[in-house]
Amino acid sequence: MSRPARNIRRLRGGAKGSRLNMDITLILKVAGIGILVSAATQILGKSGRDEQSTLVIISGIIVALIMLVGEIGSLFESVMKVFGF
């Protein structure tokens, strides 16, 4: 991924010292995982391996949530800093 493309996707704003590492590729990554998992489950369902498709769905949800948990933590941290908790 080239540098200028990454900078365009990163949304800048706010004062100096505020968090800028939230960019929209997070949405695209999670949606990409979802589409991949749904394609895999359809293929596995068609070839008769239903239990493996269920496992793929569960692992897809877990991977997506692992990706989000770090962001949730840092977001709540900055919220608590802003409101003076």
Residues near other proteins, by CB under 8 A: 11, 13-15, 18-20, 22-24, 26-31, 33-35, 37-38, 41, 57, 60-61, 64-65, 67-68, 71-72, 75, 78-80, 82-85
Tokens 């919220």 sit at which residue? 79
43/80 with CB nearer other proteins: 80
52/57 with CB nearer other proteins: 57
Residue 11 to residue 27: CA distance in whole angstroms: 13
49/57 with CB nearer other proteins: 57
The amino acid occupying position 53 is S
Taking the complex as a whole, the smallest distance from the CB of residue 51 to other proteins amounts, in Å, to: 16
SS3 content of the chain, % helix, strand, coil (to 5): 75, 0, 25
